[in-house]
Each structure stands twice: as C-alpha cells, then as structure tokens.
Amino acid sequence: MTVLLETRNVSKSYGEFRALDQVTMAVREGELVSVVGPNGAGKTTLVNLLTGLLEPTAGEVLFRGNNIAGVGPVALADHGLARAFQLIQIFPQLTVRETIAAAVVSRQKKRWRILARLSSDAGIDARVAEVADIFGLGPRLDTVAAALSQGEKKLLDVASAFALDPQVILLDEPTSGVSTSDKHGIMKTLIAAAKRAGVKAIVLVEHDMDLVAAYSHRIIALSEGQVLADLPPDRFFADTHLIETVIGRRRGH
C-alpha cells in the first residue's frame, strides 16, 4: 500500500528537552493508525509536526513524498491533510452552512472572489449540503454554531475539516468531552463519513484504549519521545508490559 504520511528519524528538541527522538513512522492508504502513549510521551509534538505546525530539529516529515516540515496549516490544507482538534473549535457566530462553506471555499479555490455572491454559488452550496448530510447536520444548516449541542459542535468541527476533501485526516481525541455512551456512536459516524468522503487514511490520537482496540489497524505507542511499539492491535494488546507502560503508571506509585 502507498505510504501517504511518514516521518523519517524525526527529532524535536525544546532547548535541553528532547520531546521526540528519532521517530520513524508511516501511515499507508486505507489505514486507521492510532498514536497512543502516556502524557508527555510526545503525542502532541508528533501531531504538530505531522500537521506542519512545527519544524523538526532533525529528520523529515513527508506527505505523499513532499516535505511538509513547518509549511503551516494553510499549505497543508491545500495538500490534502486536515486536522480536528481535541478541544472543540467552532466559529461561534457563523451558521453550520457558513462554517462548512468556509472550508469548501478554500477547497474550490474561491477565496479571492471579493465581489462574488456566496449565496448564489451553486458549486459551494451543493458541496456544503453533501457534507452536512454525511454528518447528519442537514436540518441544522442555518443554526448558529454557538447554539448547537456539544455533540453537534464536535460533529461540525470535524465536518468542516472533512469539507476540505482531505486524503488524510488527523483526529486528536475526537471523543473527548463526549459521554461514554456516545463515544462509539461518534467514532462510527466519523469512520463512515471518512469512507464516504474518500478519506484514504486516518491518524487517531487517543487515550481511550477501548476505542483504540475497536477501530485501529495499527497502533503506534510513544514513550518519552521514542517509538516503543508499532503493531497491529491483536499483537499490541497481547503484550501486557507494553500496555502498562502506555496507559502510564503514575510515577511514584
């Protein structure tokens, strides 16, 4: 399978502190790869490197063969890599329609149309309706984002990222702040939506081992900035020592 997103011997240091040390990983077409590890293992740094927000101290970050180290979020969106945040990110005063349309405008490269009427652009409208439909937000198109329920806000956040037609989407704890009973519902919606939207791979950063076990094709475990394991779920969960390290026994206990 084609490699879509990879890091090669990537290190990132903040002064003396080495957040990531020689990390090599790859995400292939058709995969859902989970990144797990205790707090401070370097997950956030890795995500920020993968999304071009940070530049590595050493090594390469490649997206479909192009170096994307430090290119920034906008260029990344143009390349076809989208990210949804752990904390829900919405535009409080914009409607569901406008929020999704913002991404569609970027995707269709219509952002410099200064005097064109957004409301009469059928190309944008059709795509917005399609995306809203996938996420069950169709009936809420004209609702202001601030007035949505917490679960709907989460869906809108992810839906707007999907509207970029990304090849790879990076989900940072997509079910945080969602009740336990809804977790699987949200994950299933996301994965089904990704398939319908033509997303080729998903990178999931997740604490919840239930979700990781249920949906991953491969699990990458980080610890103290290094790759501890890169295994399919059955082999990963067979290793009790590994799981203890990843779930993180608190120091001093």
From the CB of 62, what's the least distance to other proteins, in Å?
A: 20
Residue 43 or 107 having the CB closest to other proteins? 107
Gap between the Cα atoms of 222 and 20, Å rounded: 9
3-state class (DSSP) for residue 237: helix
Q: Does 5 bind other proteins (CB under 8 A)?
A: no
Q: Is the Cβ of residue 113 or residue 195 nearer to other proteins in the bound state? A: 113
At CA 202, angle to CA 199 and CA 208, rounded to 5? 145
Annotate each residue in 157-176 with x if it binds other proteins (CB under 8 A) or - if it does not, as one string: x--xx-xx------------
x-or-dash string of contact with other proteins, 85-124, rule CB under 8 A: x---xxxxxx---xx-xxx-xxx--xxxxxxxxxx-x--x
Site string for other proteins, 26-55 (x = CB under 8 A): -------------------------x----
The two tokens of residue 128 are 């917005």
Q: Quote the CA–CA distance of 198 and 220 in Å, as a whole number.
A: 24
What is the secondary structure of 134-183 as a DSSP string?
HTT-GGGTTSBGGGS-HHHHHHHHHHHHHTT--SEEEEESTTTTS-HHHH
Cβ nearer to other proteins, comparing 98 with 206: 98
Looking at beta carbons only, is 82 or 212 nearer to other proteins?
82
Residue 74 interacts with other proteins (CB under 8 A): yes or no: yes
d(CA 131, CA 137): 8
Angle CA(159)–CA(164)–CA(169) in degrees, nearest 5? 70
Q: Indicate whether 18 belongs to the interface with other proteins (CB under 8 A).
A: no
Which residues contact other proteins (rule: CB under 8 A)?
A: 51, 72-74, 76-78, 82-83, 85, 89-94, 98-99, 101-103, 105-107, 110-119, 121, 124, 157, 160-161, 163-164
